[in-house]
Amino acid sequence: MTTPVVSIAYHSGYGHTAVIAEAVREGAAATGATVHLIKVDEIDDAQWELLDGSDAIVFGSPTYMGTASGAFHQFAEDTSKRWFTDTWRNKLAAGFSNSGSKSGDKLHTLQFFATLAAQHGMHWVNLGLKPGWNTSEGSEHDLNRLGFFSGAAAQTNADEGPEGVHKADIATAEHLGRRVAETARTFIAGRAAVAA
């Protein structure tokens, strides 16, 4: 069985989103996948090649002013070279975001990621979790405590540093990493079966 390769292409302005990116990495690596963390504001040619060789790319950014950060938008524009050649066609994609508010318009950021993936002809992997913390017996410590379906969402108080990222949001991001890697493994096996 081929080992899935998962790359996490992310931007983190103040370190909070980097914590989430690391959690996605840990979740994917726990399945045996090869995982690359790539800071999109520092990307070089070798890292572009890592993305091109990946089975799945997970996009991550803080939500600033209702969308992904400017650094991530620049990266998205730079992917147009891959769009012209269909380099990322039929790869898997997923996403995560962090903001200071419970909602904070993170859904718009996740939708931006999904649209970017669709333009590349990629297949979107959703979070695959029911929402947590939505009953009287629920708690802020539930997985998917913010109730997002499209990807992993995190909320960190605006007056706290990266150490303030909520443990439930970290666990939710780990779940996303595992789900992406396991889905990639299934896709690889399916392609091999079709080729045979």
Distance CA(27)–CA(180), nearest Å, equals: 9
**Exposed, middle or buried, 65 (CB in 10 Å: 0-12/13-18/19+)?**
exposed
Q: Are 60 and 6 in contact (CB under 8 A)?
A: no
Q: 61 - beta bridge partners?
A: 97
> pLDDT digits over 5-41, tens only?
999 999 999 999 999 999 999 999 999 999 999 999 9
> pLDDT digits over 88-114, tens only?
999 999 999 999 999 999 999 999 999
Q: Which two tokens stand for residue 171?
A: 């666990």
Provide the whole-model pTM: 0.97
Distance CA(155)–CA(100), nearest Å, equals: 5
> pLDDT digits over 30-75, tens only?
999 999 999 999 999 999 999 999 999 999 999 999 999 999 999 9
**Exposed, middle or buried, 139 (CB in 10 Å: 0-12/13-18/19+)?**
exposed
